[in-house]
Structure 1
């Protein structure tokens, strides 16, 4: 994506899909049924919805300002604002200068559309909320469900402390539960409160893939949320504990399928938009997500790699050598990512989705959402 090479991306994508199959992840065990297998006719690629429309369904994941540098955070925001997708602040708030309108009254290109409200409420103010398109209540994270979050004190410099309304050098811990949400009625109250702060914005609730998440999602829909995110265990920043990355959480495929089916059975599916995230990397992942019920798709690690991350897995140490996950001013100067790198990645994924839709005989992503009959078990 840095060289703008479509062929290189196709080689990368083929390798990722092959590894997914070899690892026997759930989506790796599926085969997508193409047009000739379903009695449909292939359609010409120019009849399929445009890549520009597909990328509007994409968003970047909730990576907080503090866990990653301002340079990385704003690069993702600029990229998503350019293509009409959405970037997510994560749970650490956002510097006020990033959501001030431009002199001509236009939206600031560094403004994150999704403002997250997590259990620690770091950086959450009325001003922060009214400058959002979506307010997301983070119940848990896919990579470490039930564990909360922690930003080590050595990553909390004066700027981070100011944004989070804290003290420099003090570690910031988000508790596992929201201490004002102990029932679905409590959640409904918070959704109501948020809608009163910013009636123009949607309210999203981020859940993790687990047994029974469908029942929880039904309650969330009844609580009048507009949007539900199902997060799988494949994702997670390099700062998540190794034990959690290896042993906690469950695949997004299971949680997404259960959520979609439960909402359909209860007549609630039309009330909410359903998003999936957690290790999505290719167009095939997006299509399988759509077939299992997702309207929208979240990416975190992949766009961060497009922007320069080299997966050192030491995000919590403040020593990221490429300036992505550090607040060290010297290391931050090494950040070489640009919004164009991220934009290239998303458009390449969208082009893969278009090619798959054409092979399946469909012209629009909406035509395949929840159509699990287009999936079959792959011969091992």
Structure 2
């Protein structure tokens, strides 16, 4: 889904739910690109209200009357950081399989129904979260809530569907990673920068783990992590807060509560010196990738020294790189040294 003001507002509202819990996972900052999106969302100026449903699921609602549309998101606090060795990529695999049906919804029917409502849908997996989102006319919110709550609680598909989708995912890895020297270099970089922390593994997974993955690996991951109290529903758009709350309680609050699994700390050992890796790819153009471990942003309104440093570094990264007007872009690409 192309980002717009409603999506950005939803990202900011969601940050209030996710970021305060990040320190229990690892002292590693969120990505600059994601934080930049969250920072840009503040321009909407609307106030988000947060509720807890009867089963422990979080609901965040932010009215925005600028257009008769609504963005509906479900965020699950699980990503590649929660995978165990040998099943890298399972969080992303499960994201794909969530589109494969429920006992009452055929494979592919979810997206067809969203389109029939005049909307669009998508999903993504990151290191720390998995998210599913739709944008529809505001009067269709109840319909997408019913669809999303159904697949959250009742995902169901045959082993054959899993095997077919694994072929799609492996091809995705081949095209986006294994045929890209830059992507392979980035994988080697992460595996060198992190020795113990699961950020060392690629979100899409190592190909050897994808070859060995079974349908029950995905089902078990869903059963363990897709728990109401481990998820947040975010609604932004032309809505009434109390009506949204009632709809959420009807559709999501009916999902049985279960215990939230513990996210065990997986801390990176102290780094005592620089680490280097040399990667030889199928390219004639040399590349250099430098990385530094920096303080973590612990919350959207945090005032501690580490968070202030993290925000300053985020601002600096925007000045130096990341857009056509940045200093490094102008100097190295548009100026005297380099080509796209």
TM-score by length of 2: 0.28
Greater RCO, CA 8 A, separation 6+: 2
**What is the TM-score of this pair, normalised by structure 1?**
0.26
